[in-house]
Amino acid sequence: MRGVAAAVFAFGVAGATVLSVQAQNPTFSSKIEAVRVDVLVTEDGKPVRGLRAADFEIFDNGVRQTVDIASSEELPLNVVFTFDLSASIVGERLGNLREASHAVLGGLKKGDQAALVNFNDAVLIGPGLTGDTGLVRAAIDRAQPTGNTSLVDASFAGMMLAESDVGRGLVIVFSDGLDTSSWLRPKAVLDVAKRSDAVVYAVSAGLATKAEFLGDLTEQTGGRLFKIESTRGLSAVFLEVLDEFRQRYLLSYSPAGVSQEGWHQLTVRVKGRSATVRARPGYLAGQ
């Protein structure tokens, strides 16, 4: 299930793109021919491998669906770094953030792509999705912190970028502060998340650990929120995110017996096992 968001991308200097939002309510048109659900299955805290489509049960608004595909193959990833580069990300924090992003880039495989979204007062996109990790690494290394925090706007941009090409969208958000300068309302971006196939993992430090938005965003996309006291272990957290995402299953089904509009609650189970399943709680269909 993919869609196109209404946002304006104006090209800036040095290959960066500046996101300017024209409205408080971004739109995201969604079709319902097929629904993709990114799922993590664990037992005793460890990922369960080797499951097939027949091993899963999906209920869409309480109606059992037929799982067409359950892929555990290492499909190409679209990893979008969405990084707080406000004035507080300096010194050790900036160094640790760069080191952690380098670790993830070093863990990408052939066919994977990466992109960068930096945010402070504005949202800067550049480079876009590319298989050339050197371009992304260089952009991260030359970015300089300044200004305030547009966390909500940047999260929207990160999800849109993750879905701008074929592949599984993984958005890694890092912030150490509360939103102070976004144009978009959190509810509007959470509604976009309910229509998106991208999975958001977030790492919050400092004041950001008190932000409800990141918790809601990761829950709606089936991701995970890490709250940390210090950025000294940030590389290990980022690598855990990448490894966990690769262990997930991508399920697909064609909805039957349900409405084409509105909120659809999803329940995903593994037959005959007491496994823990992490997936998005539902999706929003229609305009």
Out of 208-212, 238-242, 255-259, 273-277, least confident range: 208-212
What is the reported pLDDT for 211? Answer: 78
Encoding tokens for residue 21? 């939002």
Q: Are strands 123-125 and 77-84 parallel, antiparallel or unpaired?
A: unpaired
What is the arithmetic mean of pLDDT over 215-228? 96
What is the reported pLDDT for 86? Answer: 95
Mean pLDDT of the residues in the chain = 89
Q: What angle do CA 196, 138, 165 make, to 5 degrees?
A: 25
C-alpha torsion sign, points 201, 41, 198, 217 = negative
In which band, very low, low, confident or very high, does the pLDDT at 28 lie, cut at 50, 70 and 90?
A: very low
Determine the structural domain holding residue 95 and report its residue range: 1-287
What is the reported pLDDT for 21? Answer: 41
pLDDT exceeds cutoff 80 at 1 = no
> Helical H runs in 174-284?
186-193, 212-221, 234-246
pLDDT exceeds cutoff 60 at 15 = no
The rounded percent of the chain whose pLDDT value lies above 70 is 88
Q: Residue 102 sits in a domain of what CATH number? A: 3.40.50.410
In which band, very low, low, confident or very high, does the pLDDT at 110 lie, cut at 50, 70 and 90?
A: very high
CA atoms in the 13 A half-sphere facing the CB of 224: 16
Beta strands in 24-112 (DSSP E): 35-43, 46-47, 56-60, 63-65, 67-71, 77-84
Q: How many domains does the chain have?
A: 1
What is the arithmetic mean of pLDDT over 202-219? 91
Out of 14-23, 39-48, 57-66, 148-157, least confident range: 14-23
Strand, helix or coil at 185?
Answer: coil
In which band, very low, low, confident or very high, does the pLDDT at 32 lie, cut at 50, 70 and 90?
A: low
Residue-wise pLDDT for 120-142, tens only, equals 999 999 999 999 999 999 999 99
What is the reported pLDDT for 69? Answer: 86
Q: What angle do CA 178, 181, 187 make, to 5 degrees?
A: 75
What is the arithmetic mean of pLDDT over 105-133? 96
Read off the DSSP letter of residue 27. Answer: -
Residue-wise pLDDT for 154-207, tens only, equals 999 999 999 999 899 999 999 998 999 999 999 999 999 999 999 999 999 988
Out of 11-25, 96-110, 272-286, least confident range: 11-25
